[in-house]
């Protein structure tokens, strides 16, 4: 696959590395170096970041869900600023865009501004999810990928692909090289958010789901290599 414009969804857990903290800058520097190689391939890069290293709104039971989701949005902005710092240290230009107003910290997301930056070789980091509660950052990745006309969404997760059942519970689980969104939805293969799968299916947005246990995996996925699972309509 010859992808020109890619959107990468980085799960929040990636930011903590193997140290168990919130943000591990050594891990972020490794990711930034991998992104530099992708940039050197001539690709346009947009990134949506998660917040799982800090908080997931749906997992906080004692706070009103909409407020908990707001906490998650703020956490994605923290992650985005850390990622921007790592990118700058590798000599890459980047811009953080927030789906909610944070004018003293970063720009407010506007589709045309983000696309203009992409065309000018600037990596766009898209923070605060969709800006609305009850929507996951997977959903934000699907929405932004469609909005900016990305060629593919690369879901960097903590699992190396899509399986027919949970590989952590079933040793005989079978990994798919390719799978359709409709199969993911009908069999409830909860590797990505179901609403995100519906949106990607409706707009024929292809994606690749892979594990980011090695930063080089992003490079391989961006080049259409044999890694993870390709998900398509």
Domains and CATH numbers, the chain: 5-232 (3.40.1160.10)
186 and 192 Cβ atoms separated by less than 8 Å: no
pLDDT of residue 57: 67
pLDDT along the chain (233 residues), means of 10: 94 84 92 98 98 80 90 96 98 99 97 99 98 97 99 94 93 96 95 96 98 92 96 97
197 and 143 Cβ atoms separated by less than 8 Å: no
45 and 84 Cβ atoms separated by less than 8 Å: no
The enclosing H or E element of 144 equals helix 137-147
CA distances, 105 to each of 54, 145, 209 (Å)? 19, 24, 31
């Amino acid at each position: 696959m010859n992808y020109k414009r890619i959107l990468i969804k980085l799960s929040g857990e990636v930011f903590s590395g193997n140290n168990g903290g919130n943000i591990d800058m050594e891990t972020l520097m490794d990711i930034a170096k991998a992104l530099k190689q992708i940039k050197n391939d001539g690709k346009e890069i947009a990134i949506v970041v998660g917040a799982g290293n800090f908080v997931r709104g749906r997992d906080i039971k004692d706070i009103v869900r909409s407020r908990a989701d707001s906490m998650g949005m703020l956490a994605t902005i923290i992650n985005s600023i850390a990622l921007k710092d790592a990118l700058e240290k590798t000599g890459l230009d980047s811009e953080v865009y927030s789906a909610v107003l944070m004018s003293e910290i970063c720009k407010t997301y506007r589709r045309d501004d983000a696309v203009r930056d992409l065309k000018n070789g600037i990596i766009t980091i898209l923070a605060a999810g969709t800006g609305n509660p009850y929507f996951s950052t997977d959903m934000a990745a699907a929405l932004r990928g469609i909005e900016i006309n990305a060629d593919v969404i690369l879901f960097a997760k903590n699992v190396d692909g899509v399986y027919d059942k949970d590989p952590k519970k079933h040793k005989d689980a079978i990994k798919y090289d390719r799978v359709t969104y409709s199969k993911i939805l009908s069999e409830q293969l909860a590797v990505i958010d179901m609403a995100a799968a519906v949106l990607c299916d409706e707009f024929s947005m292809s994606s690749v789901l892979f594990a980011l246990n090695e930063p080089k995996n992003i490079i391989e996925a961006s080049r259409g290599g044999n890694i993870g699972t390709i998900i398509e309509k």
